[in-house]
Structure 1
Amino acid sequence: MSKIGFIGLGIMGRPMAGHLLDAGHELLTVKRGALDAGLAEKGMRELDTPAAVAAEAEVIISIVPDTPDVELVLFGEGGVIEGLKPGTLVIDMSSIAPIATQEFAKRITEAGGEYVDAPVSGGEGGAINAALTIMVGATEEGFARAKPVLEVMGKTITHIGGHGAGQTCKVANQIVVALTIEAVAEGLLFASKAGADVAKVRESLLGGLAQSKILDVHGERMIKRTFDPGFKIKLHQKDLNLALEGARSLKLSLPGTANAQQLFQACAAHGGEEWDHAGILRALEQLADHQIGS
């Protein structure tokens, strides 16, 4: 079993850390307010800085909101790099910019560590059930070292390629997820406005070619109007910004992605940054002057 520094105990991080503790790993984290009681009961310890965590840990895992947050954890004052020991495995499971990831990997490697980018998909449910899809960018050695740890938290672990490749895959994932959520919202809104029972429409669609996990999970959220976040709109906006910025640099047009981003922006304009991303339905309902089920 390993001594693991785990930084980022949010919606996703809390259950992921819990699985590692249940598997027998020793976990350290950075003090950020009151530690989750369940994690504390399982033996998670708090230290003052990421550097202090790195000085004790064999493996560092970070899962924080955005690229600047990862940079601060790794390279800010009291950051991981200040306490990094030779051979330490640094696994970033955040969803951040691929180009920045390559630079972070270079700096950690030069400092004697082994860097792995391993963003996840599956939302809060996937984290709770240890069923996440994990997309890995790493050297062959880094992937081999990280895989046993990642298998405690995820179900599908794929080595995509070198540093930054995991993040590139995650951006692609977020494009597909956003457009599929929008498609589900539009389909259910159309059915409702036409007078059909949307619950029965969803049930029927789940048996045909339109079947998807998003239709299953997020379609139900839309019908029940449960928009408490499993994954917040503001975080999906951040991911689509990465996609659109990357597209500009590649001279690539992503019209569907841009449209989904505008609908998320409409949600944000109405105070919806903290809604679950299934809340994209609300922007479409405003345009239609119709609420599904009404």
Structure 2
Amino acid sequence: MTKIGFIGLGIMGGPMAANLVKAGFEVTGYNRSRAKVDRLVDAGGEGAASVAGAVRDADVVITMLPDSPDVQAVVLGEDGVLANAKPGALLIDCSTIRPDVSRAIAGRMRALDAPVSGGEQGAIDGNLSIMVGGAAEDFEAAKDILDAVGGTVVHVGAAGAGQTVKAANQLIVAGTIELVAESLVFLEAHGVDTDAAIKVLSGGLAGNRILDRKAAAMVQREFTPGFRVELHHKDLGIVQAAAREAGVVIPLGAAVAQLMASLNAQGHGALDHGALIELVAQLSGRE
């Protein structure tokens, strides 16, 4: 039985770790909040009181953390993964971070950058889309683990490639949410039945997963986070930096990054990113 150490048991990491337990893996989890560790224990996993305790006996270590500095500290820090894991243990970092950080970590230990897309529901259902960068042989070694939490699992290239593809994903998602938000405010302003409009739009060329998964909650102004504004704000910063590095122009991406930054600056960072509709309504004088 493969032993997995799982660091970061939040909105995404908690369900992912629970699905690995269901798939028969021996999972030991650590999170700064003990309550989240206890939830994993209730699901059949083991709990640890530190990073070291979670990874010491692990064959594979999975991290699901908020940002690049968090991953650097947890993986490369004095009491981190590299200092405490068994020689040859494989790191699978499912966080969304800068590609250069993933490449730097891969230079220090066996590592795959494997960011995910699909939100909280995808994590619960075990059908996340996972874009994986790193050595092909490490990807093959990790495939059963990744398949236990993902429905679409694709090796996209060398170290850092997974994070680059995830940056593109976040660009598309942010732009789509903004256009859905604008469309819904537009429909509301004209007094159209938004539920009926969402149904017919979803069946045509305008159909997309944002309409399917988020539009109803956006109409109700229900922003329980599946993915927080503050994290998408961070991700769009990664997109902008990577685009600048490559000499690529992203005018629409830059605009939506500014809108997300505004929403975050107004104190809405803990809301679901569907809260972009609030900003559109505000700019339209409708809030």
Q: Identify whether the pair has TM-score above 0.5, normalized to the shorter chain.
A: yes
Partner of 1:274 in structure 2?
A: 270
Q: What's the TM-score once normalised by structure 1's chain length?
A: 0.94
SS in structure 2 at match of 1:227 = coil
Partner of 2:241 in structure 1?
A: 245
Query: Given the alignment, which residue of 133, 136, 152 partners 2:148?
Result: 152
Structure 1 pair 264–31 and aligned structure 2 pair: CA distance change class (3 A): closer
1:118 aligned onto 2:119:
no
Partner of 2:75 in structure 1?
A: 74
Query: Given the alignment, which residue of 124, 127, 130 partners 2:123?
Result: 127
**% identical aligned pairs:** 43
Contact 1:228 1:276 in 2 (8 A): yes
Structure 1 pair 233–33 and aligned structure 2 pair: CA distance change class (3 A): closer
Amino acid at match of 2:170: Q
Q: For 1:226 and 1:31, how far apart are their aligned partners in 2?
A: 27
Partner of 1:111 in structure 2?
A: none
Contact 2:8 2:31 in 1 (8 A): no
Amino acid at match of 1:62: T
1:55 aligned onto 2:56:
yes
For 1:62-118, what per-residue CA distance to the aligned partner results, in whole angstroms no more than 9, with x for missing partners? 00000000001111121111123222111000000001110111011xxxxx21110
Partner of 1:175 in structure 2?
A: 171
Once the two structures are TM-superposed, the CA of residue 26 in structure 1 deviates from its matched residue by 1.2
Q: CA RMSD in A?
A: 1.3
Contact 1:5 1:27 in 2 (8 A): yes
Query: Given the alignment, which residue of 225, 232, 239 partners 1:229?
Result: 225
Amino acid at match of 1:256: L
Q: For 1:79 and 1:220, how far apart are their aligned partners in 2?
A: 42
Amino acid at match of 1:99: D
1:201 aligned onto 2:197:
yes
For 1:265-287, what per-residue CA distance to the aligned partner results, in whole angstroms no more than 9, with x for missing partners? 22123221111000001111011
SS in structure 2 at match of 1:173 = helix
Structure 1 pair 38–84 and aligned structure 2 pair: CA distance change class (3 A): closer
Once the two structures are TM-superposed, the CA of residue 10 in structure 1 deviates from its matched residue by 0.4
Partner of 1:7 in structure 2?
A: 7
Once the two structures are TM-superposed, the CA of residue 31 in structure 1 deviates from its matched residue by 5.4
Q: For 1:155 and 1:23, how far apart are their aligned partners in 2?
A: 14
Contact 1:28 1:53 in 2 (8 A): yes
SS in structure 2 at match of 1:270 = helix
Q: For 1:46 and 1:223, how far apart are their aligned partners in 2?
A: 39
Partner of 1:26 in structure 2?
A: 26
Gaps of 5+ in 1: 109-113
Contact 1:50 1:74 in 2 (8 A): no
- After TM superposition, the structure 1 = structure 2 runs for residues 94-109 of structure 1, keeping only pairs within 5 Å, are 94-108=95-109
Contact 1:60 1:91 in 2 (8 A): yes
Range 129-138 or range 43-52, more displaced: 43-52
Range 50-59 or range 75-84, more displaced: 50-59
Once the two structures are TM-superposed, the CA of residue 41 in structure 1 deviates from its matched residue by 2.5
SS in structure 1 at match of 2:107 = helix
Once the two structures are TM-superposed, the CA of residue 190 in structure 1 deviates from its matched residue by 1.2
SS in structure 1 at match of 2:112 = strand
Q: What's the TM-score once normalised by structure 2's chain length?
A: 0.96
Partner of 2:181 in structure 1?
A: 185
Q: How many residues align?
A: 286
State the 4+ residue runs in structure 1 displaced beyond 6 angstroms: none
